[in-house]
Structure 1
Amino acid sequence: MMRQWGLAFSFLISAFSGLASVPPDAAAQDRPAVSQCQAIARTLPDVVYASFSASDVLPAQARAEAVRITYLGHSTFNIETAGGVSIVTDYNGWYRPAATPTVATMNKAHSTHYTLNPEPGIAHVLHGWGDGGGPARHGLVVGDAYVRNVTTDIRSGGGVMEPDGNSIFIFEIAGLCIGHLGHLHHELDEGHYAEIGRLDVLMVPVDGGLTMGAESMSRVVTRLRSSLILPMHRRGPPITAFLSMFDDSFDRSYATGPSVTVSLRSLPRKPLIHILQGV
């Protein structure tokens, strides 16, 4: 086991050294990005992940860089990096940040999660569904962010499950692994967890049934065991119905505003369900 962890850390060190020596634009063009969130999952696929400290892997500057996450509404967040990249999740054209984002991710469960007419200034529009018949496959390096996805199935007309119709988007920024579950309609299997790897920050729908019931969603959250959990997509049930699914191994807090700023250094030691204003 210790040897496996050693291999994982060696892989992480070489991955970051390689990316640090290549400018972001060149990295995007000349080499595939390396996911530092997946590295341990590939080495130890059966581990149930708790929080991960990269203090011995990342340079101090990267550990100190902060990411600002602002809840805009429904399942839409604006993720802002230290390098000036702005990423909007489940972009639908209604909930917009003050400035045009660099990246917009979308899912197609309902029109509140996507638009086919995004504002033209968005540099990268990433659909969570496949446009060519197969599953969506994203691995985008833009500035100081790496965006990838893990596909899941989605309920379509008549309740039939459509394979790979939804995407869990994962944003790797400043050493953080930030995941947005999208419109998740089923519990994840071991293959999904291995593809996802570690998630430090998790954006999770808490509608109580439009996606999944609270018990099913709480099992996903418990398994991922992210340090910071941001509820979203609340429709109907009070937030307390979701919170009641968790024991004292999870903390709870209510924000006084719609934003939270987080870095590797500031991650809570104990998993924290943090309800941003507006949820």
Structure 2
Amino acid sequence: MTCVETRALATSALRGVAEHAAREAGIYLRGVFREEMTVERKRDRHDLVTMHDRASEEIIVPLLSDGAPGSRIVGEEGGVRGGNGPVTWYIDPIDGTSNFAQGIAFFCVAIAAERDGEIVAGVVYDPIADRMFSASDDGAFLDDAPLHTGQALGPDAATVITGYPTARDLQADGAAALEAFGSLVNAFSSVRRTGSGALTIAHVAAGWADSALGSSVNPWDVAASMLILRRAGGDYRPLWYDEAPSGGDHLAPGFVATRAGGSYPALDAVADGIVTRRRGV
């Protein structure tokens, strides 16, 4: 298949390529989950990596390259590699590495395809539950069934999932971060910290949570689940910390995600406060 043929691939075909790669990595991850493993730190004790992150990515990369020849691949562990074809893949081989390393079954494989600067296909695979969230131009799906968020609950009955504030948020925002978290605790029925941004947004897309907030994400964390949520009828609002955003919404360092019809003033106020502080306004 040539790069010209790759450009002509339907987004559903790209979704199929990503699903196959994610399932193959998932088979491997199920086999090593809760086994003894060496855990390394990247930036600090909150940012972990295992040999299985790297092994999972090495399973995924050739399958994407074969499925869409000439693709450029951006992986969390392997960096940028591949060709200069029309498709760029974003890969997170284990989103939720801390959970995976500690034996907590809330992690996923996330793969997204970008073409002409736009995310056009994406999958989030939960290998332990064996659930495949996916999206392309023909909609969003959970396994083989169409996926819709359903109507969001009001804040007094709703759940928000967020990792905010992280240790780095506390360093950046100080006491304002704790005040913001307190406002979410007061406004929502429940606040959860799950440890995987991609799987969290997928849960919002499935209607299993009402909203989510992320303050420090990378494109491979959110590109796939952002598309899944939007195709399922939900809303994904990027949070840009620069005055002049450049590129697609998956490149923004923060986000607010909600089910269809979700209206949460306290969540919006926290998100706006984060943006204001990051911009130094």
TM-based fold match above 0.5: no
Q: Structure 1 length normalisation: TM-score?
A: 0.33
Name whichever structure is richer in helix by fraction. Answer: 2
The structure with higher relative contact order (CA 8 Å, sep 6+) is 1
